[in-house]
């Protein structure tokens, strides 16, 4: 799994690619823990190039979601491919996380304050 | 909806291949030269009556028993020749859902589900706690993590067993009689869980069952094992439509659940007489 970072309109965007499984989720956890430590005010994860996420990856996202709540950080995820979206749906994480169809929609919503 | 591959497509889509498999007990062939393949994304249902060797076959497929002869290639590796260490590595890639859950009675539901993660992964305990909650949500048992198995119904225990089998997000799930003893509603619930795992997240499933309603509901491919005079043979194999259309009287008697047919309830008059007069 690869992680690329950029900042656009004060939103920190992490673009992920590859598969997030037992071997790769610690790398994501490390990156998200750093964002939590820095109290990143707005974080968007772009999943467009993520082909697979397992339970350890989903748990890592929940952990960041919990951390972000403590400092009122905004957290959203965008561009889930259908297979990955199914993994979120099956354990009802689509109801927990703020999801957007693409990066543009996510940035617009986060900038306007509706996220 | 076509099944999605769980991870990147491998070079071959065959996940499991059985070649010339024979199992004899005291010289009697329980499995007699079986050959079949399971492909990625399939829900492969193995059917057959009591005593046809379904459980023996499943034990061999998961590496719990060595066959008399033949091979079983799982993810391209022959598990009949694998060392215990190699088997442990291969076992990380599949989950086993046992007929009665096979839960540890002294542990809570949550501890049972967490066990494979604690034993076979480096996942942080705080994340394991979340994974357990997600697996319980998946099987419709949110909030039951602190219950003991003895405090649950049979259907609930079966679902906990399924949650534990899915704890490590396996590529392949083996299920032994996942709906036996369940009422029709709970059978449909368990079938739906199997369908969700295969169709939505691309798990390949090998299900052993004699519940015809359930078999036809979940299968993409079916295999029927014979017993009696056709003990240990593959009677039929194909899609559910092909199985329904197959005129083999043995198969049709089983599929329709009829008492009269080639699957004999009693010995023939001649055989009974021979048996009665047999010495020793």
Query: Where do the structural domains in chain B lie, given as residue ranges?
Result: 1-93+172-189+198-280, 103-169
Asked if B123 lies within 8 A of A51 by C-beta distance, the reply is no
Chain A residue with Cα closest to B3: A83
Confidence tier at B3 by pLDDT (50, 70, 90):
very low
- How many DSSP H helices and E strands does chain A contain? 4, 5
Question: Chain B interface residues facing chain A, Cβ-Cβ under 8 Å?
Answer: 4, 6-8, 121-124, 126-128, 130-131, 134-135, 137-138, 167-169, 196, 200-202
Asked if B127 lies within 8 A of A89 by C-beta distance, the reply is no
Decide if domain B1-93+172-189+198-280 falls under CATH 3.40.50.300: yes
- Global model pTM greater than 0.90: no
Q: Are B34 and B21 in contact (CB under 8 A)?
A: yes
Q: What would the pLDDT profile of B181-194 be if each residue is shown by its tens digit?
A: 888 888 898 899 89
Asked if B200 lies within 8 A of A26 by C-beta distance, the reply is no
Cα–Cα separations (whole angstroms), residue A62 to A69, A88, B130, B148, B200: 11, 11, 8, 26, 21
Q: How many whole angstroms from its chain centre is CA A19?
A: 14
Identify which of B218, B172, B178, B173 has the alpha carbon closest to the alpha carbon of residue B195: B218
Using a CB-CB cut-off of 8 Å, the residues of chain A touching B138 are: 90-91
Using a CB-CB cut-off of 8 Å, the residues of chain A touching B200 are: 83, 86-87, 89-90
Asked if B122 lies within 8 A of A82 by C-beta distance, the reply is no
The better pLDDT of the pair B231, B46 is held by: B46
Asked if B123 lies within 8 A of A56 by C-beta distance, the reply is yes
Say whether B24 sits in a helix, a strand or coil. Answer: strand
Rg of chain B over Cα atoms, rounded to whole angstroms, equals: 20
The complex scores an ipTM of 0.91
Q: Which of A59, A65, A80, A94 to probe by mutation at the B interface, max B CB count within 10 Å? A: A59
Inter-axis angle of helices B154-165 and B109-120, nearest 10: 20
Asked if B131 lies within 8 A of A51 by C-beta distance, the reply is no
Query: Which residue among B128, B130, B200 places its CB closest to the CB of A62?
Result: B130
φ and ψ at residue B205, rounded to 5 degrees: -125, 140
Q: Determine the Cα–Cα distance for residues A60 and A32; give it in Å rounded to an integer.
A: 8
Q: What would the pLDDT profile of B107-148 be if each residue is shown by its tens digit?
A: 999 999 999 999 888 899 999 999 999 999 998 899 999 999
> Rounded to the nearest 5 degrees, what angle is found at the Cα of B265, between the Cα atoms of B260 and B271?
115
Q: What would the pLDDT profile of A48-99 be if each residue is shown by its tens digit?
A: 999 999 999 999 999 999 999 999 999 999 999 998 999 999 999 999 999 9
- Residue B119 distance to chain A (closest CA, Å): 13
Asked if A91 lies within 8 A of B121 by C-beta distance, the reply is no
Asked if B200 lies within 8 A of A52 by C-beta distance, the reply is no
Q: Determine the Cα–Cα distance for residues A44 and A30; give it in Å rounded to an integer.
A: 16
Asked if A63 lies within 8 A of B127 by C-beta distance, the reply is yes
- Residue B152 distance to chain A (closest CA, Å): 22
Counted domains in chain A = 1
Cα–Cα separations (whole angstroms), residue B191 to A40, B109, B156, B207, B258: 43, 21, 14, 11, 24
Point out which residues pair with B208 in neighbouring strands: B46, B176
Using a CB-CB cut-off of 8 Å, the residues of chain B touching A64 are: none
Asked if A55 lies within 8 A of B134 by C-beta distance, the reply is yes
Q: What would the pLDDT profile of A90-106 be if each residue is shown by its tens digit?
A: 999 999 999 999 999 99
| Residue that the structure tokens 């046992």 belong to | B98
Mean pLDDT computed over B253-272: 72
Using a CB-CB cut-off of 8 Å, the residues of chain B touching A52 are: 6-8
pLDDT at A67: 97
Entry field: residues in chain B: 280
Report the first-to-last Cα separation within chain B, whole angstroms: 59
Say whether B160 sits in a helix, a strand or coil. Answer: helix
Q: Are B98 and B154 in contact (CB under 8 A)?
A: no
Domain CATH code at residue A17: 3.30.750.24
Asked if B7 lies within 8 A of A19 by C-beta distance, the reply is yes
Identify which of B210, B112, B127 has the alpha carbon closest to the alpha carbon of residue B166: B112
Q: What would the pLDDT profile of B47-75 be if each residue is shown by its tens digit?
A: 988 788 888 999 999 999 999 999 999 99
Confidence tier at B248 by pLDDT (50, 70, 90):
confident
């Amino acid at each position: 799994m690869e992680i690329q970072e950029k900042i656009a309109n004060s939103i920190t965007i992490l673009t992920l690619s590859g598969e997030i499984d037992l071997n790769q989720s610690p790398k994501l956890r490390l990156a998200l823990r750093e964002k939590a430590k820095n109290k990143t005010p707005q974080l968007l994860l772009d999943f467009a190039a993520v082909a697979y996420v397992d339970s350890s990856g989903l748990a890592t996202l929940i952990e960041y979601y919990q951390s972000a709540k403590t400092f009122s950080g905004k957290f959203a995820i965008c561009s889930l491919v259908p297979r990955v979206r199914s993994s979120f749906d099956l354990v009802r994480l689509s109801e927990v996380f703020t999801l957007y169809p693409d990066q543009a929609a996510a940035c617009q919503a986060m900038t306007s304050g509706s996220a | 909806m076509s099944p999605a591959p769980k991870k990147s497509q491998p070079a071959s889509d065959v996940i499991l291949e059985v070649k010339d498999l024979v199992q004899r007990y005291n010289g009697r062939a329980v499995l007699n030269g079986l050959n079949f393949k399971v492909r990625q994304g399939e829900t492969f249902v193995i059917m057959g009556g009591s005593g046809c060797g379904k459980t023996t076959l499943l034990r061999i497929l998961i590496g719990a028993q060595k066959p008399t002869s033949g091979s079983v290639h799982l993810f391209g590796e022959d598990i009949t020749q694998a060392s215990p260490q190699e088997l442990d590595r291969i076992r990380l890639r599949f989950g086993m859902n046992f007929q009665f859950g096979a839960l540890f009675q002294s542990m809570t539901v949550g501890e049972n589900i967490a066990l494979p993660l604690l034993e076979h992964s480096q996942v942080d305990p705080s994340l394991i706690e979340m994974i357990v909650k997600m697996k319980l949500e998946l099987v419709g048992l949110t909030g039951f993590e602190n219950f003991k198995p003895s405090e649950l119904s049979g259907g609930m225990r079966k679902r906990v067993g399924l949650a534990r089998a899915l704890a490590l997000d396996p590529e392949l799930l083996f299920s032994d009689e996942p709906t036996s003893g369940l009422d029709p509603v709970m059978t449909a619930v368990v079938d739906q869980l199997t369908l969700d795992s295969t169709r939505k997240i691309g798990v390949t499933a090998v299900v052993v069952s004699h519940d015809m309603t359930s078999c036809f509901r979940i299968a993409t491919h079916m295999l029927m094992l014979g017993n009696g005079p056709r003990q240990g043979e593959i009677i039929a194999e194909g899609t559910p439509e092909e199985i329904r259309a197959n005129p083999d009287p043995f198969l049709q008697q089983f599929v329709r659940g009829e008492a009269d047919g080639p699957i004999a309830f009693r010995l023939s008059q001649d055989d009974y007489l021979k048996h009665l007069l047999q010495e020793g």
